[in-house]
């Protein structure tokens, strides 16, 4: 932390390092208060670079001595660098450094830290420099040999990357282990763990016939909750080999769960470190969503072994090279695991919903940046929805443009060319295009790559004209893009539009085809069209754009009833709902839902041919955040009031159908986190929420009573928390005793207690009488003995849920929500700047707020930004937010 502006790093300034580090020998004497790190670096001059001093990164560590070529050498400190002005002459030399760090004091959770009495590391992006002095940049790749020494009783398990080559006893109750990783890797993939852990093991054979050991390490007592993580790991290994021909390249692959972790998980070579949230699951403690999250995160980290680790990023501006591609791979994995076409579509809908909920607002707000950013002050601020989720959509569009087989050829070429290297997003796109000469991608590669360089969500307008005589349908596609920070104008994007034509009766008039829009406006002609069609455009959400197809209710109802593309079918229902929500928000008086809409929803709910999972998605109204995104200025209270009112109407008009849906979708078999069972539970829980909502309004005690019973007796967490949520959001009198009951059942299990906090922080804010109750409750929970700011999961469960996912509780006319935000931010920043910077992002969209919220938000931002000791991370986010007002 420092005063004054942080240094901004620019993508254009990239230069290869003046020195390479080829081999690293590290030795750790682990102690929570003072750990001693001895490192031996085999350094090579880069002949392409001018002779210059050797500058090593180092942060919050203390140097004890430095020796070059066996002799002591003079050094100095400059900023956060250790500078050796006169390193030994010659092409190669060995540098030996000894330094200390204090894991116990490391509350940032970057570098070497303690959690639950053990040692863990997190090095991406720039944590390695908090362990020892190094060229801490991803294009410097070295082979590591690591010796760990620690007290044997307290830390019986000693792990690092690669293979265990030696272990044994030392004096004084200590022991040691030596690990060697044969693969050259950047420092951000280094990891060590020393803790009292137990592990689940499984052997697996790859196609080549080699046997590999898989291990999942957890705290004593948690072993029973590792089955799903292990099954997901096995499935990931099998999938990557089957789909992309990428086998496991290590003798041993380890996953370690840790309770204090800033992110979801980390792909350290051979030693993935995970937030417990993405490892531990039993039916009693984890929901269906948690089980699915574990599968996808285990897959994600495992897939990084090739896309990220074997081929890594040249610099951090290329982050999406590994993240966009790996998110794409984990999404494909989850879809393949889901199996049925309907379950695949459900996964796609969920992914798009998440993209719209987090990436679209990001792209429209103060922190908007291209998939490959141009500058940063703190790289940790760029682990964003844009780099990850939009990056994945960019990869998906490439697959759409070259076809699935073409894409697999592209991946093969990418590895042929770049295995073992640190490369750029351009290198990736080039490989996919080169493997598919003449393809829709190869012929437009340069313009396609604008997806990497231009921020903002493009708008796509589609208008069709039908000529009955010529039996011809002409579709005009137009694109435009709003300015984003630093990018006042944009060039056209290459937009793949999967399209089909339907008749009003639902039959297919033109089969699906790929239209590629690559200029501002283009026409596409469909011949031999029998009747005036309804266009089904952007099927499967074939590009991350905002579509305006001008379709009215009648056409959307046709798509909702008949589209063979499940994504567009869902989308049509959402559009019908959205149009009504937006119209109602405009009006001051309450709006009654029209019969046509209610009937369409009833038809979906009753349709025996539709999967419960799809029904649940179709019957869930667009979120308040999504509604807000459609408006130039929005009033969060108004949106909340309108949406709640609609929910109440759906609850009462479809009452009998909800009751039937609830009974019909109860799962009586033993719990399994399969898409089929999960879909039924999701629909039953939505039905129960609607039934409770209606019952509380009409004073009927039956459904709340049933929900309460379920909180007590449910055989799995999905049903238990679903019932609890139904009571809490409907403001039933039984919510209070149910919450108490739930807390007691949780028995202190951290991940379950997190849910208990999160649910209360998200509790729907009453409209009218009782307004402010949910905010007050969340605020009071800060004082709960189970609450702590130091554990990121816990801080997120209360504070982030309130500030990010409960707009009506947070955005208050009296600005108390913003005061709460500012206070928490200032408390968290000195403890954990990365976490604080994420909280700072809550204000990303403040300029779109209606008054009085807008002015109050600006005041809160300015007040926090005026504090002198802010971290670089927080300062960057607040700075950008305040710039957005011009």
Question: Which residue minimizes CB distance to ligand PHE?
Answer: 263
Strand, coil or helix: 288: helix
Q: Are 344 and 338 in contact (CB under 8 A)?
A: yes
Of the candidates 109, 407, 26, the residue with the CA atom closest to the CA atom of residue 243: 407
Minimum distance of Zn ion from residue 378's CB (angstroms): 18
Minimum distance of ligand PHE from residue 323's CB (angstroms): 6
Nearer to Zn ion, 326 or 568 (CB): 326
Peptide bond into 125 cis (omega under 30): yes
301 is catalytic: yes
Whats the size of the chain, residue-wise? 886
Q: Which long-range contacts (CB under 8 A, 24 or more apart) does 569-572 make?
A: 569/618, 570/345, 570/349, 570/614, 570/617, 570/618, 571/541
- 565 binding partner (options Zn ion, ligand PHE, none; Cβ < 5 to 8 Å by kind): none
Alpha-carbon span 19 to 46, nearest angstrom? 5
Minimum distance of ligand PHE from residue 237's CB (angstroms): 17
Beta bridge partners of 148: 28, 177
- 801 binding partner (options ligand PHE, Zn ion, none; Cβ < 5 to 8 Å by kind): none
Task: Give the DSSP H/E element, type plus range, for residue 838.
Answer: helix 833-840
Contact flags string 312-341 toward Zn ion, x per CB under 5 A: -----------x--x---------------
Minimum distance of ligand PHE from residue 202's CB (angstroms): 22
Minimum distance of ligand PHE from residue 159's CB (angstroms): 17
Nearer to ligand PHE, 265 or 546 (CB): 265
**How many CB atoms within 10 Å of residue 516?**
20
Peptide bond into 852 cis (omega under 30): yes
Alpha-carbon span 283 to 583, nearest angstrom? 42
Nearer to ligand PHE, 240 or 267 (CB): 267
Nearer to Zn ion, 326 or 436 (CB): 326
Alpha-carbon span 87 to 122, nearest angstrom? 30
Nearer to Zn ion, 229 or 861 (CB): 229
Alpha-carbon span 330 to 335, nearest angstrom? 9
H helix intervals, 161-266: 227-244
Nearer to ligand PHE, 323 or 332 (CB): 323
- What is the chain's alpha carbon radius of gyration, rounded to the nearest angstrom? 28
Q: End-to-end distance of the chain based on CA atoms, in angstroms?
A: 28
Beta bridge partners of 26: 39, 146
Minimum distance of ligand PHE from residue 269's CB (angstroms): 12
In the chain, what are the helix, strand and coil shares in percent, each to the nearest 5?
Answer: 45, 20, 35
Q: Are 475 and 515 in contact (CB under 8 A)?
A: yes
- 517 binding partner (options Zn ion, ligand PHE, none; Cβ < 5 to 8 Å by kind): none
- 122 binding partner (options ligand PHE, Zn ion, none; Cβ < 5 to 8 Å by kind): ligand PHE
Nearer to ligand PHE, 323 or 565 (CB): 323
- 754 binding partner (options ligand PHE, Zn ion, none; Cβ < 5 to 8 Å by kind): none
Q: How far, in Å, are 6, 55, 317, 773 from residue 378 at the CA level?
A: 8, 20, 12, 37
Nearer to ligand PHE, 59 or 611 (CB): 59
Alpha-carbon span 759 to 801, nearest angstrom? 8
Alpha-carbon span 419 to 428, nearest angstrom? 12
Minimum distance of ligand PHE from residue 742's CB (angstroms): 30
- 263 binding partner (options ligand PHE, Zn ion, none; Cβ < 5 to 8 Å by kind): ligand PHE
Q: Hey, what are 588's tokens?
A: 């001051």
Q: Which residue has the tokens 């670089």?
A: 872
Q: Are 498 and 539 in contact (CB under 8 A)?
A: yes
Minimum distance of ligand PHE from residue 324's CB (angstroms): 10
Q: Are 713 and 728 in contact (CB under 8 A)?
A: no
Nearer to Zn ion, 323 or 332 (CB): 323
Minimum distance of ligand PHE from residue 108's CB (angstroms): 11
Catalytic entry in 301, 323, 332, 440: 301
Considering CB under 5 A, how many residues would be counted as binding Zn ion?
2
Interface contacts to ligand PHE, rule CB under 6 A: 122, 124, 262-263, 265-267, 300-301, 323, 383
Residue ranges binding Zn ion (CB under 5 A): 323, 326
**Which sequence positions are flagged as catalytic?**
301
């Amino acid at each position: 932390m420092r005063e004054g502006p942080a240094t901004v790093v620019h993508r254009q300034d990239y230069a290869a390092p003046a020195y390479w580090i080829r081999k690293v020998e590290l030795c750790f004497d682990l102690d929570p208060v003072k750990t001693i790190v001895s490192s031996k670096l085999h350094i090579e001059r880069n002949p392409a670079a001018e002779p210059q001093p050797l500058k090593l990164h180092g942060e919050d560590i203390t140097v004890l001595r430095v020796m070059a070529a066996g002799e002591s050498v003079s050094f100095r400190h400059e900023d956060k660098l250790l500078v050796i002005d006169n390193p030994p002459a010659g092409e190669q030399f060995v540098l030996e450094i000894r330094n200390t760090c204090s894991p116990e004091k490391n509350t940032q959770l970057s570098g070497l830290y303690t959690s639950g009495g053990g040692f863990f590391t997190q090095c991406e992006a720039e944590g390695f420099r908090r362990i020892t002095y190094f060229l801490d940049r991803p294009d410097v790749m070295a082979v590591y040999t690591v010796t760990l020494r620690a007290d044997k009783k307290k830390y019986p398990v000693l792990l690092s990357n690669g293979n265990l080559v030696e272990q044994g006893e030392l004096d004084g109750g200590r022991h040691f282990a030596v690990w060697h990783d044969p693969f050259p890797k950047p420092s951000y993939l280094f990891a060590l763990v020393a803790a009292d852990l137990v592990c689940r093991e499984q052997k697996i054979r790859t196609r080549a016939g080699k046997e590999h050991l898989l291990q999942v390490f957890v705290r004593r007592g948690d072993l029973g909750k590792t089955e799903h993580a292990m099954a997901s790991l096995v499935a990931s290994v099998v999938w990557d080999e089957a789909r992309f021909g990428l086998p496991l390249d290590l003798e041993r692959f380890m996953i370690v769960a840790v309770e204090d972790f800033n992110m979801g998980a980390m792909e350290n070579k051979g030693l993935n470190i995970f937030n417990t949230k993405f490892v531990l699951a039993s039916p009693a403690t984890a929901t269906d969503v948690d089980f699915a999250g574990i599968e996808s995160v285990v897959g994600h980290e495992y897939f990084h072994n090739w896309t990220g680790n074997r081929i890594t990023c040249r610099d951090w501006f290329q982050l999406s090279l590994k993240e966009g591609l790996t998110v794409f791979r984990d999404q494909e994995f989850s879809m393949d695991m889901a199996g049925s076409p309907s379950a695949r579509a459900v996964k796609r809908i969920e992914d798009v919903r998440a993209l719209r909920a987090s990436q679209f607002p990001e792209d429209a707000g103060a922190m908007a940046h291209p998939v490959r950013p141009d500058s940063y002050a703190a790289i940790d601020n760029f682990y964003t929805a844009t780099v990850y989720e939009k990056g994945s959509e960019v990869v998906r569009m490439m697959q759409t443009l070259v076809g699935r087989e073409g894409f697999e050829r592209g991946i093969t070429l990418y590895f042929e060319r770049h295995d073992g290297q640190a490369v750029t997003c351009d290198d990736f796109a080039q490989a996919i295009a080169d493997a598919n000469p003449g393809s829709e991608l190869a012929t437009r590669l340069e313009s396609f790559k604008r997806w990497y360089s231009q921020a903002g969500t493009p708008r796509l307008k589609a208008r069709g004209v039908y000529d009955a005589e010529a039996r011809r349908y002409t579709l005009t596609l137009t694109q435009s893009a709003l300015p984003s920070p630093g990018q006042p104008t944009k060039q056209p994007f290459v937009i793949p539009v999967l399209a089909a034509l339907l008749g009003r009766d639902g039959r297919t008039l033109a089969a699906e085809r790929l239209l590629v829009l690559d200029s501002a406006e283009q026409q596409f002609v469909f011949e031999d069209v029998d009747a005036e069609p309804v266009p089904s455009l952007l099927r499967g959400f074939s590009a991350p754009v905002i579509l305006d197809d001008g379709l009215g209710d009648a056409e959307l109802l046709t798509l909702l009833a008949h589209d063979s593309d499940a994504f567009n079918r869902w989308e049509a229902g959402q559009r019908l709902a959205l149009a009504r929500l937006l119209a109602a928000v405009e009006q001051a008086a309450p709006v009654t839902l029209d019969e046509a809409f209610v009937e369409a929803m009833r038809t979906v709910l009753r349709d025996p041919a539709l999967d419960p999972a799809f029904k649940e998605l179709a019957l869930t109204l667009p979120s308040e955040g999504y509604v807000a995104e459609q408006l130039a200025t929005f009033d969060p209270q108004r949106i909340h009031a309108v949406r709640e009112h609609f929910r109440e109407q759906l609850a009462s008009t479809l009452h009998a159908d909800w009751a039937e849906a609830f009974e019909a979708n109860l799962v009586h078999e033993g719990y399994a986190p399969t898409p089929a069972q999960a879909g039924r539970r999701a629909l039953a829980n939505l039905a129960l929420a609607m039934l409770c909502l209606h019952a509380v309004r009409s004073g009927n005690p039956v459904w709340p009573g049933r929900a309460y019973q379920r909180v007590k007796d449910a055989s799995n967490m999905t049903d238990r928390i679903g019932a609890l949520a139904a009571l809490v959001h409907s403001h039933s009198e039984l919510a209070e005793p149910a919450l108490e009951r739930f807390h007691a059942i949780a028995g202190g299990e951290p991940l379950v207690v997190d849910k208990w906090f999160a649910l209360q922080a998200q509790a729907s804010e009453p409209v009218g009488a009782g307004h402010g109750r949910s905010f007050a409750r969340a605020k009071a929970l800060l004082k709960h003995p189970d609450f702590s700011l130091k554990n990121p999961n816990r801080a997120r469960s209360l504070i982030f849920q309130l500030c990010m996912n409960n707009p009506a509780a947070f955005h208050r006319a009296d600005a108390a929500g913003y005061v709460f935000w500012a206070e928490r931010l200032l408390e968290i920043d000195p403890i954990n700047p990365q976490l604080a910077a994420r909280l700072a992002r809550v204000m990303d969209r403040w300029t779109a707020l209606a008054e009085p919220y807008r002015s109050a938000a600006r005041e809160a931002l300015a007040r926090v930004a005026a504090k002198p000791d802010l971290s670089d991370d927080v300062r960057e986010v607040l700075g950008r937010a305040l710039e957005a007002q011009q």
